[in-house]
Amino acid sequence: MQKVISRTREILWMLAATLTLCGSAVLSACSRGDSSARQDSTTSIVDEVWAFSQTHPEGFTLDVRTMTEPDEGIAVSYAETQNSHSLSQLDKVVAHALSHDGFVGGWQNPENGLYYFDSAKLFPESSLREALLFGKENGQHSVFILSTRTDIPVDGKVAEVVGRGTLLVGTTGDYRPRSFSA
């Protein structure tokens, strides 16, 4: 029963997102099987994301359903949209985002001038372990904490501590109050 309720919520959410993004004219066209209306809507979103990226070369994460930047969460890119560098490749990224979590991230590499665009999944900031695991499964080098604008390497020491669940600390134990053994 829980699966039925969950699937029903998912379908209702997708319908609401479609109405929000596409408008009633596109929804009507979609129901007739008119893919050109859906393509026009996606193209419009791609153009908006591209324009946004030009004013945010240092990096951004954008909810393409609302065209707003979330200010918290952990952004992790999907492997399927890696190596998307141009306006023409941004179509694939936006289409993936619209069919998944609705987030697109990007930044411009100052060394080669290329933009790097990806469809992204956002995790709550309390779910670092899950975000790191998803990042590792998707071949990412790091995950990005939006509220602090911090990259956390997927295979670094922080990931090791989070995966282990404990922080190991060494001390001599003979320098009160900074170091002592209880």
Q: State pLDDT tens for residues 31-86.
A: 445 444 445 678 899 999 999 999 999 999 999 999 999 999 999 999 999 889 88
For 64, residues 6+ apart whose C-beta sits below 8 A from its C-beta are 21, 45, 48, 49, 94, 97, 98, 102, 103, 104
Tokens of 176: 């009160």
Residue in the block written with tokens 């949209």? 81
Residues 78-106: b if buried by 16+ CB within 10 A, e if exposed: beebeebbeeeebbebbbbbbeebbbbbb
Q: What 3-state class would DSSP assign to 53?
A: helix
Cβ atoms within 10 A of the Cβ of 45, count?
A: 22
pLDDT digits (tens, 9 = 90+) for 18-43: 555 555 444 444 444 544 444 567 88
